[in-house]
Chains A and B, each alone.
Chain A
Amino acid sequence: MPFKRFVEIGRVALVNYGKDYGRLVVIVDVVDQNRALIDAPDMVRCQINFKRLSLTDIKIDIKRVPKKTTLIKAMEDADVKNKWENSSWGKKLIVQKRRALLNDFDRFKVMLARIKRGGAIRQELAKLKKAAA
């Protein structure tokens, strides 16, 4: 079981602790054994400990410490946003965010929908069982 996601310039990572929790960032330089320089289109470039990053599968093609406009263009060329939102990890996070904002009424409607879906599934299953019998 070799490693597949490496810390390298251009690696897209998710911040998993601190003020920028949940933000997608790009590693643009390595400071030392523990810290990296990260950058994202809507934040000031800063250093962060590797322990605060979760590496993703996405990598973009940039040189060491690019200009902001270069970084943005490279992210668009690699289509980071869509790759992330279509990955199962990214989809999970979007669903989590949406669930957290649900109203009490929304939660009720979700419950009704789940019951309805379960009922439909069970009906189909019963039909199939009957057909197989």
Chain B
Amino acid sequence: MAPPSKLSLGIKRASRSHTYHRRGLWAIKAKHGGAFPKAEKPAAAAEPKFYPADDVKPRAPSTRKANPTKLRSSITPGTVLILLAGRFMGKRVVFLKQLKSGLLLITGPFKINGVPIRRVNQAYVIATSTKVDISGVKVDKFDDKYFARDKKTKAKKTEGELFETDKEATKNLPDFKKDDQKALDAELIKAIEAVPDLKTYLGARFSLRDGDKPHEMTF
């Protein structure tokens, strides 16, 4: 209902009875049998035992969604990458695909340079412009779960055994992983041998020599 208009400060246009009629409370009273319906007061909450010293607003949960890791445009399936860190520093390897975690799936191939099917971070890699044809290579079965560590069950050590360090079981690569490597590399090596000198290229490590200016070299 529109508020009553004023003739002047303190003097309303409508009289008391007219305003009462306009407000329509009589219609609500009539609807509910003579009395204005009283809302039920909600049950009073029990007094909390503890009031914190400062009035701090609870932090709202973040609605930020993590985007999938962006792959550098220079890295496409089949690109030869140079590893920059780790055990295989300097090795030239073949990129297969990007996994869901954002890491890159690579392989040596194992027979050529000793690098197995492995995951590597984009940041520790130089992408060269050399590409290998990997259309015949199947990489669907490899995902992050394939590379998860096995949970070791720790046997309780007795007092004497605590100081024996050479009892640790040597880690053996399960056979199915060795077979996966062979199957993956078979197709890949065929594609590599089709290009002259590519096999020796992948077998050699990259290093900087005197006079090399990496910021001026095109890879």
Mark A residues whose CB is within 8 Å of B. 100-105, 107-109, 112
Contact = CB atoms under 8 A, between A and B. Distances in A.
B216 interface: yes
Interface stretch (B157-165, B179-187, B194-202): B194-202
A108 B218 contact: no
Interface of B: 80, 82, 92, 128-130, 197-198, 200-201, 204, 206, 216-219
Most chain B beta carbons < 10 A, residue from A101, A102, A105: A105
A119 B92 CA distance: 26
A109 B198 CA distance: 9
Contacts of A102: 218
Given A104-B128, A105-B130, A112 B216 contact: no
Nearest to B82: A104
Contact of B200 (A103, A107, A112): A112
Given A102-B218, A107-B217, A108-B200, 12 more contacts: A100-B216, A103-B128, A103-B129, A103-B130, A103-B219, A104-B82, A104-B130, A104-B219, A105-B130, A105-B201, A108-B201, A109-B197
Nearest to B126: A104
Contacts of B217: 104, 107
B106 to A, nearest CB: 16
14 contacts: A100-B216, A101-B218, A102-B218, A103-B128, A103-B218, A104-B82, A104-B128, A104-B130, A105-B128, A105-B130, A107-B217, A108-B200, A109-B197, A112-B200
Given A102-B218, A103-B219, A105-B80, A112 B197 contact: yes
Contacts of B130: 103-105
